[in-house]
Amino acid sequence: MLNTLLFDLDGTLLPMDNDEFTRGYFKHLVPHVVHLLDQEKFIAQLWASTEEMVRNDDASKTNEEVFKEDFLSKISIREEDIWPVLLDFYQKEFGALSHLASPTPLSRQVVQTAIEKGYSVVLATNPLFPRSAIEARMKWAGVDDLPFDLVTTLEEMHFCKPNPNYYREILQKIGKMPEECMMIGNDGYEDMVAGKLGMQTYLVTDCLIDRNLLSDFVDHQGTMEKLLEFVKKLPEPKGEAL
């Protein structure tokens, strides 16, 4: 019985152009680290260490630990010299980048409707960013104050999309079976791969990413507007027997 909805953030609850966001993000981040590291080397290593984190399948290390180990070993700068600089940026300045996204009131309406009907909700954003940066984007999307059962962050998760273990870890953390859950996202591969575990899926098409589309695992699809109507029509989940 479906009782839990997992929501992607970037491109789903928070409409955005990924390329435009990335350009703007680096434009604001780089000036904080150029006194420590050449711009091109910093950006290249940031990407490379992020890819290392995405490839990781070691459940004993958090995403943050994997990223740090790879990043710091390649740039030859002490953690205490650069990590506080990065965290300070995320905590104090990242929130001002809201102009790089295109929020819609539909996002809050969708999540609020699901909660009011009795569904558990999870913010299943790819945990590539620290919690402060994810909370900032939740605020842009207008969902930061809603009672999510779990928000997946860099510090707490051990896997990234599209690794199926990312979704297995969510299920373990919230104590749910795959058939109780639906993954809702705009990425035809990273989000729809949840279907391989037995979750239902909903592909949001407003900011669709259809490379490597797993069409066999798309149960439903439509715009955010259609998603709102879909959630409104979902049956209220049955309470557990006492």
CB 220 within 8 A of CB 188: no
pLDDT tens-digit readout, 152-208: 999 999 999 999 999 999 999 999 999 999 999 999 999 999 999 999 999 999 999
pTM (predicted TM-score): 0.95
Give one DSSP letter per residue of 224-237, joined into a string: HHHHHHHHHHSPPP
Nearest Cα neighbor of 61 from 215, 165, 205, 194 is 165
pLDDT greater than 70 at residue 242: no
**Cβ atoms within 10 Å of 113's Cβ, excluding its own:** 18
The domain spans of the chain are 4-16+102-233, 18-98
Classify 124 as helix, strand or coil: coil
pLDDT digits 0-9 by tens, 77-101? 999 999 999 999 999 999 999 999 9
CATH class of residue range 4-16+102-233: alpha beta
When the pLDDT of each residue in the chain is averaged and rounded to a whole number, the result is 95
